């Protein structure tokens, strides 16, 4: 009973086979014992116990066709008939005395028991003793058949567990390959997106400092500086959400803007957004995504005057004359929500005097949170701009980013600082 409980408590196949062989050899009077499992129509030795060596080896998967350790004829007979074979003096009498294995090793006692679970054969127990005849007495056979009943159940459970582990391992490998492919695709998308962001933007008469830090490998924030015709364009946008879908929309917008401005460099900002919106809306519909983009575009001349359009965060301007920040409100409509937004857009104007500092940003800055779940907020941002505004654009930018470092930033963070010299 204790032996049966020991077997029933083990579900790892290798450990089960080892325990089974030790228990069987201790109780059977055998010199050698083997446990065989069938795999793809072939019987394999999966456990071997040897009294003389005092060891048990498991999970060898040695075919009986290639091994002389057991009598293949007896194994096939038991597998076919599902009946036990008990031989008191195998080399001298019985149906298997002419088997090559029996003759070669002078095998005396043999016991071979099928392990059946719900009428199905799942393994075979094979025992030998070449030193004595009648080693497997009726009492020992009865005991071993009782153990075999529990062993059959345990082998079935352990085999199912092993199969499950294998499936999990295979599925994990599939997922790993998928993830590697995904990360490869994401890395490519990241490289493409990085290439679209201007490396060292410059506008004559202005200092510029800009950065974009995505919350994931691929982000949905976008900034750009485009010099075309008589105008210098500044663009800052934020696609809803983040990750690959947002990054794709961001790339669509960048491509659409450059295409329109190349063909019509004097287009008003409101008209630019109206045109690109239709294309972006149609593409988002095809993607089956629910996305939109807040965006502001500014077209500047050489005298500090900018015309702008688009619904986005307020444009913050730190006036050199007063040291205070003026918030210029944007209006209009986000792009990507509907096919025609032309009636909702209008052009505004602003002017930067020498020393004035303009800050454009996405809500990843103001919506960053600390450990108490407080927002970074507009007031904090404005205070930093006012305190830093006498310095160069790079210092204003650096002070904002440094102040933001300890805050949790679940969204993309984009910051553009433009100072008229």
- Measure the CA angle with vertex 210, ends 207 and 213; round to 5°: 170
Residue with tokens 């690109």: 276
Q: What is the pLDDT of residue 318?
A: 98
Per-residue pLDDT in tens (0 to 9) along the chain, 421 residues: 444 444 455 555 667 677 777 777 777 788 888 988 888 889 998 888 888 777 788 877 899 988 889 999 999 999 999 999 999 999 998 889 999 999 999 999 999 999 887 888 888 999 999 889 998 888 888 877 777 676 666 666 656 655 555 655 565 566 566 656 555 655 655 665 566 677 778 899 999 999 988 877 667 788 999 999 889 999 999 988 766 777 778 888 888 888 889 888 889 999 999 998 988 888 888 877 788 999 999 998 678 999 999 999 999 999 999 999 999 999 999 999 998 999 999 999 999 999 999 999 999 999 999 989 999 999 999 999 999 999 999 999 999 999 999 999 988 899 999 999 9
Q: φ and ψ at 280, to 5 degrees? A: -65, -40
Q: Where are the alpha helices (DSSP H) in 85-233?
A: 100-105, 138-196
Q: What is the pLDDT of residue 3?
A: 45
Is residue 400 within 8 A of residue 414, CB to CB? The reply is: no
Burial of 178 by CB count in 10 Å (0-12 exposed, 13-18 middle, 19+ buried)?
A: exposed
Q: Identify the bridge partners of residue 121 per DSSP, sorted by sequence position.
A: 116
Residue 122 backbone zone (phi > 0: left; psi -120 to 50: alpha; other: beta): alpha
Q: How many CB atoms lie within 10 A of CB 132?
A: 12
DSSP three-state, residue 365: helix
Domain ranges of the chain: 2-166, 197-420
DSSP state at residue 329: P
Instruction: Tell me which H or E stretch contains 260.
Output: helix 244-263
Query: What's the CATH architecture for 197-420?
Result: 4-Layer Sandwich (3.60)
Rg of the chain on CA atoms, in Å? 39
Q: Which residues contact 304 (CB under 8 A, 6 or more apart)?
A: 205, 351, 352, 353, 354, 356, 420
Taken as a whole, the chain contains a residue count of 421
Q: What is the pTM of this model?
A: 0.58
Is residue 384 within 8 A of residue 259, CB to CB? The reply is: no
Query: What's the CATH architecture for 2-166?
Result: 2-Layer Sandwich (3.30)
The DSSP line for 338-362 is SS--GGG---EEEE--TT-EEEEE-
Distance between CA atoms of 276 and 297, rounded to whole angstroms?
A: 12
């Amino acid at each position: 009973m204790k032996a049966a409980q020991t077997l029933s408590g083990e579900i790892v196949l290798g450990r089960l086979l080892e325990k089974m062989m030790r228990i069987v050899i201790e109780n059977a009077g055998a010199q050698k014992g083997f446990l065989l499992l069938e795999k793809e129509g072939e019987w394999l030795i999966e456990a071997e116990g040897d009294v003389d060596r005092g060891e048990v080896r498991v999970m060898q998967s040695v075919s009986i066709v290639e091994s002389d350790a057991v009598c293949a004829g007896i194994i096939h007979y038991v597998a076919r008939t599902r009946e036990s074979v008990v031989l008191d003096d195998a080399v001298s009498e019985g149906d298997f005395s002419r088997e090559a294995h029996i003759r070669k090793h002078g095998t005396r006692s043999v016991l071979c028991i099928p392990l059946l679970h719900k009428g199905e054969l799942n393994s075979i127990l094979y025992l030998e003793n070449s030193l004595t005849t009648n080693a497997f007495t009726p009492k020992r056979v009865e005991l071993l058949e009782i153990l075999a009943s529990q062993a059959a159940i345990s082998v079935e459970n352990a085999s199912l567990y092993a199969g499950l582990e294998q499936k999990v391992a295979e599925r994990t490998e599939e997922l790993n390959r998928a993830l590697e492919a995904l990360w490869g695709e994401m890395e490519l998308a990241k490289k493409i997106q990085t290439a679209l962001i201007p490396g060292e933007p410059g506008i004559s008469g202005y200092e510029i400092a800009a950065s974009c830090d995505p919350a994931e490998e691929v982000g949905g924030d976008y900034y750009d500086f485009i010099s075309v015709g008589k105008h210098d364009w500044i663009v800052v946008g934020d696609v809803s959400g983040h990750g690959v879908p947002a990054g794709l929309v961001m790339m669509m917008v960048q491509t659409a803007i450059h295409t329109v401005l190349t063909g019509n460099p004097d287009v008003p900002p409101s008209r630019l957004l109206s045109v690109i919106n239709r294309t972006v809306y149609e593409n988002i519909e095809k993607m089956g995504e629910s996305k939109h983009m807040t965006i502001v575009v500014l077209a500047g001349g050489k005298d500090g005057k900018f015309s702008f359009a688009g619904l986005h965060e307020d444009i913050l301007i730190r006036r050199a004359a007063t040291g205070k920040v003026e918030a210029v409100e944007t209006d209009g409509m986000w792009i990507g929500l509907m096919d025609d937004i032309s009636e909702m857009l209008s052009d505004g104007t602003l002017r930067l005097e020498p020393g004035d500092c303009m800050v454009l940003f996405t809500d990843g800055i103001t919506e960053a949170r600390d450990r108490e779940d407080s927002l970074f907020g507009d007031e904090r941002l404005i205070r930093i701009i006012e305190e830093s505004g006498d310095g160069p654009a790079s210092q204003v930018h650096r002070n904002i980013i440094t102040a933001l470092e300890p805050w949790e930033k679940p969204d993309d963070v984009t910051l553009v600082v433009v100072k008229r010299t």
